[in-house]
Structure 1
């Protein structure tokens, strides 16, 4: 796939993005975080959020770039070995409703459970070109998270499942009309991720369903979303892989938070519960929508 990569790397909005999430079912605690570097704009950004029945709080920061691309505002990533990362955070998070502050310390090892999935295996050349203003290189992987999170001196022993996302490419938040990025882990051996990206030229679908120790590339997704006051509440999905198999998955939003990304777009990040063939899973369902949408 030739997307004139060298030319894209010179684009002002060229971005390298590292995203992780995980959900600890026993503690009903979800964490999601991202570090992005736009070196041609001298802009490094992060967000770090926690969701539970007691807390929905986070932080979003932008700084100039430096020689530590995976360390910003107390959030630090370290790749210990391929597929194994140390995730640390030491700082404050804030409730967007009452502006209350919580002190957080996180020390977690995130370890992959499936091979890396390259979205290039899911799209044709035209679809790749259509998505070139969002991320020309996009990789997904699910894994387990083990460690500790301390919130205002309350300690949580973390044992959860989650997803990591690595993308390189132009990231113009306002270029898509919207996107849906959804993941769920049903066990150490079964998980899926799907992205539906809507641009002026049409939709691009990509992702994987991991079963029988294999990533099955997803090439089509039909997603019907129910909304409650502008917020996704339920969704029904029919996902189709390259081999012609169909996966029917229902999702239900448990809780959500919102992250403004620029003057035009906002991210709705949800913890959602999923049902696939009677199996229960949890994961993040992320919706990028225009601000006037509300």
Structure 2
């Protein structure tokens, strides 16, 4: 492999790995996101920074899902009119070797939450009233596949929602350490997914589901499904098989009656149709369900975030979301 060339299978390369000019877009958002699932320790995490310089703030999320159902969380906004880097509230996400390797570091406190459903309607109160624990994260993301897009134009979602006009993704592994209070986990090549998007963003414009999954045989999946205003469903994403071949997803159907509630006691069941592959049926038990409310101006959406373990012949694990607008 030529390590001097950009590791990309799309229109985005080394230059895209850094921040961009907001160009006066009123609801501009530029965000980087990294997650991982470690099926051995049963610890998973998602870490995200979103810069909204024209709106005057940056937002950060550090969320750890822990054995036994608890979560550790920091989520909030800080004043910021700059879009020069991704660093806020003790969290820094930055390219180490653009298109191939990123570093994620965090040093701050998190709230240890035993009942995540409280976040739905009383998020600030739940964070304030939960025990505060010191947390340190030091992880390196190493890409296992080239950067890719789910749509040729780089749009963030397959439908008409306004999430971001430029967007790419990448699968890989993370290694390093996660310390929570007196407990330290050593993470050794845990399955991971990252993305980078920029452009206008309205959270409440999206009604659908998202999934990042890793099957036991080494298959990696990112899948999106969105309901259009006319009731039709748009799907997108890719299935990357162990031989490194990308199979575009044509249909991602999720069977759920979730409508934005604070709790969900069902399963995460999805059916994926992708080019050149048999139909994939993913039937997952939900280990954690975290209802997060995203607000933009006068709009709000409920994001039900999940860690999932798959059963049967498609055994594996994943991180998933249900996104529903709140009226």
TM-score range, shorter chain: 0.7 to 0.9
Q: Which residue of 1 aligns with 2:134?
A: 103
Q: Which residue of 2 aligns with 1:171?
A: 201
1:1-23 superposed Cα distances (whole Å, 9 cap, x missing partner): xxxxx9x9543112112111101
Q: CA deviation at 1:291?
A: 3.9
Change in Cα spacing, 1:161 to 1:271, as seen in structure 2 (3 Å) is same
- Asked whether 1:282 is paired with 2:317, we answer yes
Q: CA deviation at 1:60?
A: 1.1
Q: Which residue of 2 aligns with 1:157?
A: 186
> Equivalences for 1:174-213 in 2 at 5 Å?
174-176=204-206, 178-186=207-215, 189-201=218-230, 202-211=232-241, 212-213=243-244
How far apart in 1 are the matches of 2:293 and 2:88?
19
1:81-102 superposed Cα distances (whole Å, 9 cap, x missing partner): 1221111010011135551111
Q: Which residue of 2 aligns with 1:31?
A: 45
- Verify the 8 A CA contact 1:162 1:184 in the aligned structure 2: no
Q: CA deviation at 1:230?
A: 4.6
> Equivalences for 1:217-256 in 2 at 5 Å?
217-225=248-256, 230-231=263-264, 233-243=266-276, 245-256=278-289
Q: CA deviation at 1:248?
A: 2.1
Unmatched segments (≥5 aa) in structure 2: 1-19, 114-125
> Equivalences for 1:45-60 in 2 at 5 Å?
45-54=59-68, 55-60=70-75
Q: Which residue of 2 aligns with 1:76?
A: 92
Q: CA RMSD in A?
A: 2.7
- Three-state SS of the structure 2 residue aligned to 1:278 is helix
Comparing 194-203 and 250-259, the one that deviates more: 194-203
- Verify the 8 A CA contact 2:63 2:72 in the aligned structure 1: yes
- Asked whether 1:268 is paired with 2:282, we answer no
Q: CA deviation at 1:244?
A: 6.7
Q: CA deviation at 1:40?
A: 2.1
1:219-268 superposed Cα distances (whole Å, 9 cap, x missing partner): 21121126597526313222122447522222221112222211621221
1:68-114 superposed Cα distances (whole Å, 9 cap, x missing partner): 42111000112111221111010011135551111100001111111
How far apart in 2 are the matches of 1:119 and 1:282?
21
How far apart in 1 are the matches of 2:53 and 2:132?
31
Aligned residues: 282
Could you state the TM-score of these two structures normalised by the residue count of structure 2?
0.78
Unmatched segments (≥5 aa) in structure 1: 1-5
